[in-house]
Amino acid sequence: MDIQNAQVKVINQSKHDLPNYQTIHSAGMDLRANLEAPVTLKPLQRALIPTGLYIALPEGHEAQIRPRSGLAYKHGISIVNSPGTIDADYRGEIKVLLVNLSDQDFVVEDGERIAQMVVAKYARVAWQEAQALDDTERGAGGYGSTGTK
Ligand SMILES: O=c1ccn([C@H]2C[C@H](O)[C@@H](COP(=O)(O)OP(=O)(O)OP(=O)(O)O)O2)c(=O)[nH]1
Ligand SMILES: [Mg+2]
């Protein structure tokens, strides 16, 4: 299936190359920390890590800032507001709100790949207020209503 590349303007004020896709069908591009000095995250500490990147997404697109599973598995590093949302009209620096969920200090180094960015299309809603909603098989069932096996 054809995957179309969205053209995205970017200003790179970081010391590092632009993010890229690591494999041909990667959904996300890894973002690198752009730091003057390493940042130490103590257990349960969080920090807003700059990337030095500024983007202008096309209308109808958002960028999601998601954790990297390797950092999560090996070091308990996640993102507090995961997935972070970069709006199409945001012109500030992309930053990543890392949190250390392990019981050991973690040092974020300059240039380290700390998160991944997935660009996605989204829909916006125009409300149609109603008195009733159409019936479905699920109805109001949720929170495990279909069982576990
Ligand atoms: O991980 C993130 C999340 C957001 N942003 C930037 C881009 C986004 O467009 C803007 C606002 O984000 P959001 O709407 O999630 O934050 P808010 O707390 O609602 O702030 P605002 O009132 O500015 O919308 O902050 C980041 O750089 N990194
Ligand atoms: Mg907001």
Asked if residues 90 and 9 have their Cβ atoms less than 8 Å apart, the reply is no
Query: What is the value of pTM for the model shown?
Result: 0.94
107-128 pLDDT, tens digit per residue, is 999 999 999 999 999 999 999 9
Helix (H) or strand (E) holding 17: none
The protein residue with its alpha carbon nearest to ligand 1, atom 23, reads 90
Looking at the domain assignment, is residue 147 inside a domain? no
- Identify which ligand lies nearest to the alpha carbon of 86: 1
Looking at the domain assignment, is residue 82 inside a domain? yes
Residues sharing a CB contact under 8 Å with residue 99, sequence separation 6 or more, in sequence order:
41, 44, 45, 46, 77, 78, 79, 80
Looking at the domain assignment, is residue 41 inside a domain? yes
Looking at the domain assignment, is residue 130 inside a domain? no
User: Which atom of ligand 1 is least distant from the CA of 87?
Assistant: 9
Number of domains in the chain: 1
Asked if residues 117 and 63 have their Cβ atoms less than 8 Å apart, the reply is yes
ipTM for the predicted complex: 0.98
Q: What is the CATH number of the domain that holds 47?
A: 2.70.40.10
How is residue 41 written in tokens?
């995250």
50-73 pLDDT, tens digit per residue, is 999 999 999 999 999 999 999 999
Is residue 139 part of an annotated ligand binding site? no
End-to-end CA distance of the chain: 33
Q: What is the pLDDT of residue 138?
A: 97
Looking at the domain assignment, is residue 53 inside a domain? yes
Structural domain containing residue 107: 9-121
Is the distance from the beta carbon of residue 81 to the nearest atom of ligand 1 less than 6 Å?
A: yes
Per-residue pLDDT averaged across 18-23, rounded?
A: 96
| Residue 56 CA to ligand 2 centre (angstroms) | 16
